[in-house]
Structure formats: structure tokens, C-alpha cells
Amino acid sequence: MAPNCLSIALAGNPNSGKTTIFNHITGTRQKVGNWPGVTVEKKEGTIHKYGYELRIIDLPGTYSLTPFSIEEIVARDFILESTPDVVIDIIDASNLERSLYLATQLRELDCRVLFALNMADLARERGIKIDADKLSELLDLPVVFTVGNRNEGIDDLLKKAIELAESPTEISRRRRVKYTKDIEIAIDRVRRRLSDVVGDGPYNPRWTAIKLLENDSVVRDRVADATGDRAADLMTAVAQERLTLRELYDDDPEIVMTDERYGFIAGIIKEVVTTSTRRRVDMSRNIDLVLTNRFVGFPIFIFFIWMMFQVTFTVGAYPMEWIESGVGLLSRLLGAILPEGILRAFVLDGVIAGVGSVIVFLPNILILFFFIAIFEDTGYMARAAFLMDKIMHLIGLHGKSFIPMLMGFGCNVPAVMAARTLESEKDRILTILITPFMSCSAKLPVYIILAGAFFGARAGTVIFGIYMTGIVLSIITGRLFRTVLLRGADAPFVMELPPYRAPTFKSLVIHMWDRSKMFLKKMTGVILVGSMVVWGLSAFPRNIDYDMDYSGRIEALKAAYGTTLANAEPGERDPILRERKERIEDLQRARQAEHAEKSYMGRLGKFLAPVFEPLGIDWRGSVAIVTGFVAKEIVVSTLGILHAVDEGREVLKETLKTTGMTPLSALSMMIFILLYVPCLATVAAIRRETGSSGWMVFNIVYSTTLAWVASFCVYQTGQLLGYGV
Ligand code: GDP
Ligand code: MG
């Protein structure tokens, strides 16, 4: 070779940008052919630069230099046999860990290696910072950042390559992977045996020894060829060393050594990569060891969900009281201003009672959405999907379908729309059909009232149980539909687990608010109108034949107390006054209740009552359920109006207890409300997203039938077991 002639080989993982860099360096002066004997493309080109004739060879892309693939053997043989002056290892800097395996193997070959940290732009974009000086120091080789597709750093790379080729330093002593003591001892022993037999050839002795210990078939054959009749002895010695190591580690030496190389790489990565992303990924991996663990992951998930409802229920109770007293104050204020009559009744009993009974749940809904925002923003939602994957496969769906379902806890409308991300149409329809069983936040007020009134301290747990019932029934439904209606296999996909992030408080609040806005919008729209309609139906007709002369009774009562008061000592008056007030209020409430019962609404309720009677739900409950089709929030306001309660939740609870409702019938009603037809907006979304009125009607019929059957079973079984009182 001419004195100023250097050969430079480009090694690297597939897609690390080798060919791109090769093209930039060689331009049009390329020769494309095949490597001898194999159909692996060989590209080389010769250029003249910096006073040198540079022969550049693009090696096949490989991840390692084991003899397992043709590409790897070709690349290795070229380095071993043709001994290029310099090997440039082109490394995908955005994927350093994976790239370094090949690098450690090149290092062991003791050739002159230089790193091109290519894709430097991508690494920067992903926030990966690589300390090139440190990397260079740790591996004792030059490092150059390059951006192959923009021809950045390539000239620098060539200069460094020439410099390295011309450097007088002894290469064999360069830093390389150090194995644990026993392995190093074995390497040493094999190396000495080897030099006894063949002197310094055919390749670098340490490397050859390592390959022999790794039982590398290509190297073994070549060493056998070179050593002739002394090969058998050498191979027996190697086999003995392998056996010793095997016993020591209880694993093949090649596996132990591979592990140690990865350990070495992990150490380098720790030293030189200092990005937040990297740390986040590592931390995520550790967190995931627990949160997606086969055994503890699921209980933790259930615990989170349970905690979410518990906090929603307990913490929400405080602001709820404040809002309630606010509504009460407003009601009394307007009551004092407005003259007795239909307008006053409309404002107080229709608007304030209707909207007021729903707006008190704003804190609960805010808290619930806050939790959902935490799950989404931290990345836990994706883990929940991952955890649910196995269970979802019971239905024949992916964990991915669980995300719309989980969102259904907030509101079914966006949940149904979220099913769009599923590729298969059948998967999408199936997910849409089972999502409404995820109890939405609008149903929560109903549970809070009913469970609160009848289950006391265990209300949180009962509500949790209701939610779980919804989940279980959606799974059963899914299984049923998958085998009967929407047959087919689920399309395979890779579950992505984004790194955990600590969400900012601001983003949580924004997400919470985005969702809660919808609730407030509903308050002023559907709920207001619905409450007014419900009130109208319960307030008319105005002229009602009462069973009792309430007005006469009230007058008589007033007169009677008037006499008692006149005769009483001044000190005894207060309790008497209180008693009078209570008795008058009782009568007024009874009148209102009878009025509601004889109103249009009452008539509708009485008409429906036979359908709901086997479920333990009275005519008021029936009406509330019917009005709930418009929006589930209206259920509570209807109950409020029908029980003539406008003073708030506590009174409504008390009143419910006096109208013959029992814990069992409350449970039955909660189950019905959990399962029956979703609200108008959701039904519309189902039609839109499935593109068919057929599926919409199917959903309405199926869910309502299921609700009836489930409530029936609960109520009747409960009665048989004696819980009916
Ligand atoms: P090879 O398999 O190693 O030969 O890789 P190629 O040279 O074929 O490059 C793979 C892809 O990476 C091509 O689309 C290149 O345009 C692109 N690429 C190469 N170097 C860079 C780089 O530094 N930054 C970015 N963003 N892309 C690059
Ligand atoms: Mg290529």
C-alpha cells in the first residue's frame, strides 16, 4: 500500500446512519458489489482528502459480532482479516445503550476504533445529553458528534480518523470490558495455552481466548486449523475451563460474559448520559416493577380506585355543606321577596330545588375529575390499561379498550368518543356498548343520597361496590357480545407505557376544570330545563281534590296553639312555638306530597309503578328514573321535587326513609340507575360513533332490560334473605 493510504471501515447497528455517512464521504466514487461468497451488499469507495488516499468500506449493519448471522460474520471477518486502519463505529446517539454492545465487542477486537455519535440532533431533541469527553475517556477512544443526513461533523470525523490511524499508541492496552476475576483468570489461562501452541497468531490472543471460552464456532474452527495436531489438547483445556466456569456460575460462560458486557455498558450509560428522560425511564421502570406487578399491581389498582371514591365522598362532604347552606340562604331570601303564588313555587320548588340539589355535587365531581386527571397525567392510566389487559382479553378486547371505559367514570360521552382510537370496528362497537356500565359522575349524586341515607358509615364501600358491579357486568356483557354478536379476534397491538411524570398542579386543575365545565354547562341547560319540566308536571293541575282539608287543619292548629300559648307561662312558650311550627310544616309537606301524587307527574308515576314494584321502587322512584333519561343528575332533583323537599340533602334523606324505602330497595334502585339506559347525550354519541341507529336502539333495550333483571334479582333475593325491612 502507498504510504499515505488508509482504510476506514464503517461499522454500526442497522439504521444508525452508516450508509448516509458513507454517501457523504464518498460522493459518487462508490463501488457496489457483494461480499465474497455471500449475498450481502458490499459498498466501498476511495477518495483523496487531507493528503491521504482513503478507502472507505460500509460494513453490514449489525448489533453484535457473534457468529449467528451472515452480516455479523462478514463484518467481523473484514475487521479480523483485512485489518482496516480505523473502524468508525457509527452510533445512534438517541439509542446509546443498544449501540454500545457492538462497541464493546469492537473494543475487545483491539482495532483502532472511533465513535461517531450520529443522530446527535435526535438525541438533543429527546433531551438526551451525552458527555462525549467522559465517554471518550472511559472507552479510551475519540468521539465525534455527527448529524449524518445534514452532513454535520463528517469532516471532523475523517480528520479524527486519520489522526487515530497515525497515532503511535499501543492499542492492545486500551480500556475494554473487564470481567469478574474468575473469568479473567480463565481468559488468561486459555491465552497462555494458546500462545504456547500458536505464538501470537492468528488473531489478537485475548480476543481469541474470549471467543474460545464463549465457544464461538468460527473461531474454534480457525484456531483448530492453525494449530493442527495440537488442537485437540487446546480444545480439551478450553472445555475444562468452560466446565469450571459453568459450575461456578450455573450458566454458560457466553451468557455470563454477555451479562457482564451489559453491566459494563450500564455503568458507562450511568456515567455519561445525564438526561432527565433517562432517569425518568429508569425510575418508571422501577415504579412499574411494583405497579404492573402480576400479584400486587391489581390490588393496588383496586385500592387506588377505592381511595378515589372514598376521598370523593368524605372530602367532598365539606364544601357540599357550604354550597348547600348557600342554596338554602338563596331560597329563603327569594322566599321572603317573592309573593306567595305560582311564580314563587316555580322559582323555589322548580328552579332552586332542581338546580340546587344538583349543584351541591359539584365538589364531588371536581374531586373525581381531579383523580382521573392525576391518573391520566402521571401515566398511571396506561398502566391500568396494561393491568386490565388480561381481564380485557377475557372479553376478547385489549387493555386499550379499558381507557374509554375508565373515562366512562367521568362522563360517558367523551368515553364513547375515546373508543375511536381502536382500529378494529368490532372492537370499537363492543367497547362502546359496554362503556356505559362504567358509572358516570352524574350518577354519583344518586348514590350519595341513597347510600348516605340508608347505609350510613358504609356508604363509601357500598358505592364502591356499585361501581364494581358495573365493571363486572360490562365484562360479562362483553364476553356475551363477543361470542354472539361481534365475533372475531382482537387485533394485536403493542401496549405503550409512557414514562411516569409528576404532573404540575396547574395541568391537573386545567384538566379537572375542562371536564367539570361540562357539568356546569349541563346545570344551566339540560338540568335547568329538565327540572322546570319535572316541576311543571308535578305542580299541575293546580286544582286538586285533597283527601284532607289541609288549610282548615292548619287554621285549626293555629287557633288551638293560640289558646295554649295564651295560657302558658312566658318561660314555657318557646317549646310550644317550636312544636306548632313543626306540626304546621308536617301538614304543609303532606299537602305538597299529596299534590305531587295527584299531579301529572304523580299520575305518570302511578302508571309506571307496576313495572317497578317488583324492584322495590315506588312511584316517585319510577318517575325519577324516567326523568333520568334526560340526564342522570335530574334523578335527584326529581326526588327532591316529588318529596317536596327544597331544604337540602339531609332533609331529603330523612324524607326518603319515611316513605317506605329500605336499604334493600335503595340498593335495588342504585343498581337500576347504574345499568339502565344512559343519558340522552350518551345515546346520541353511541348513534354517532357506531354510525347506526340499530346499535343505539340495541343499547337502550339491552341496558334497560339488564337493569330490570339485575334489580329484580337483588331485591327479590334480598327479601328472601330477610333484608327487606
Ligand atoms: P444504515 O442502516 O446504518 O445504513 O442507516 P442509513 O444511512 O440508511 O440511515 C437510516 C435513516 O436515518 C435514513 O433515513 C437517514 O436519513 C437517517 N439519518 C442518518 N443520519 C441521521 C442523523 O444524524 N439524524 C437524523 N435525524 N437522521 C439521520
Ligand atoms: Mg445501510
Pocket of ligand 1 (CB under 6 A): 12, 14-20, 61, 118-119, 121-122, 147-149
Q: What is the mean pLDDT of residues 545-553?
A: 78
Q: Which ligand is nearest to the CA of 18?
A: 1
Atom number of ligand 1 nearest to Cα 14 = 2
Query: Is pLDDT at 528 greater than 80 in this prediction?
Result: no
Q: Whose CA is nearest to atom 20 of ligand 1?
A: 148
Average pLDDT over residues 189-205: 80
What pLDDT, on the 0 to 100 scale, is given for residue 114? 92
Q: Which ligand is nearest to the CA of 16?
A: 1
DSSP 74-86: HHHHHHHHS--SE
Distance of alpha carbon 481 from alpha carbon 101, whole angstroms: 49
**By alpha-carbon position, which residue is closest to atom 1 of ligand 1?**
15
pLDDT category, 709, cuts 50, 70, 90? very high
| Residue 654 clears pLDDT 80, i.e. is over it | no
pLDDT tens-place string over residues 616-653? 888 888 888 988 887 787 788 778 777 766 556 677 77
Residue 27 Cα to ligand 1 middle (Å): 16
Cis peptide before 445 (omega within 30 of 0): no
Whether residue 490 has pLDDT greater than 60: no
Residue nearest to atom 17 of ligand 1 (CA): 17
The mean per-residue pLDDT over the stretch 296-314 comes to 81
Structural contact between residues 718 and 664, judged by C-beta atoms closer than 8 angstroms: yes
Considering the chain, what percentage of its residues have pLDDT values greater than 90? 15
Q: Do residues 70 and 23 make contact, with C-beta atoms less than 8 angstroms apart? A: no
Which of 572-586, 598-612, 700-714 has the highest average model confidence (pLDDT)?
A: 700-714
Question: Average pLDDT, stretch 454-460?
Answer: 85
- Does 8 have pLDDT greater than 90? yes
Mean pLDDT along residues 344-352: 80
Alpha-carbon distance of 658 to 655, in angstroms, equals 5
Distance 43 CA to ligand 2 centre (A): 9
For ligand 1, atom 22: residue with the closest CA: 119
State the closest ligand 1 atom to the C-alpha of 15, by its place in the atom list counted from 1.
2
DSSP state of 7: E
User: What is the reported pLDDT for 499?
Assistant: 65
pLDDT at 521 over 80: no
| Mean pLDDT across the chain | 82
Mutate to test the pocket of ligand 1, among 149, 156, 157 (most ligand atoms within 8 A of CB): 149
More confident residue, 325 or 649: 325
Of 340 and 448, the structure prediction assigns the larger pLDDT to 448
| Distance (Å, whole) CA 606 – CA 601 | 9
Beta pairing partners, 91: 117
Ligand 1 centroid vs 152 CA: distance in angstroms? 13
CA of 352 to the centre of ligand 2 (A): 73
The string of DSSP codes covering 598-610 is HSHHHHHHHHHHH
So what's the pLDDT on residue 576? Answer: 73
Which is more confidently placed, 701 or 510? 701
Which one has a higher pLDDT value, 633 or 11? 11
Phi, psi of 34 (to 5 degrees): -115, 155
Atom of ligand 1 nearest to the CA of 58: 4
DSSP letters spanning 61-121: P-S---TTSHHHHHHHHHHHHS--SEEEEEEEGGGHHHHHHHHHHHHHTT--EEEEEE-HH
In the reported structure, the alpha carbon of residue 54 is separated from the centroid of ligand 1 by a whole-number distance in angstroms of 22
Gap from CA of 16 to ligand 1 centroid (Å): 6
Counting from 1 in the atom list of ligand 1, the atom nearest the Cα of 21 is 7
At 485 the pLDDT is 77
pTM of the full structure? 0.49
Per residue, the 3-state secondary structure of 437-500, as one string, reads HCCCHHHHHHHHHHHHHHHHHHHHHHHHHHHHHHHHHHHHHHHHHHHHCCCCCCCCCCCCCCCC
| pLDDT value of residue 1 | 47
pLDDT at position 498 is: 63
Confidence of residue 174 (pLDDT cuts 50, 70, 90): low
> Could you identify the atom of ligand 1 that is nearest to the CA of residue 13?
3
Q: What is the pLDDT of residue 144?
A: 93
Mean pLDDT of 272-283: 66
Atom of ligand 1 nearest to the CA of 12: 3
Task: Decide if pLDDT at 587 tops 70.
Answer: yes
> Does the pLDDT of residue 365 top 70, yes or no?
yes
- Pocket residue to mutate for ligand 1, from 10, 13, 15, most atoms within 8 A of Cβ: 15
Which ligand has the shortest distance to the CA of 15?
1
20, 121, 152, best to mutate for ligand 1 pocket (most atoms within 8 Å of CB): 20
Question: Mapping DSSP to helix (H, G, I), strand (E, B) and coil, where does residue 41 land?
Answer: strand
278 pLDDT above the threshold of 60: no
Residue located nearest, by CA, to atom 25 of ligand 1: 119
How remote is the CA of residue 132 from the centroid of ligand 2, in Å? 25
- Look at ligand 1, atom 12, and give the residue with the nearest C-alpha: 17
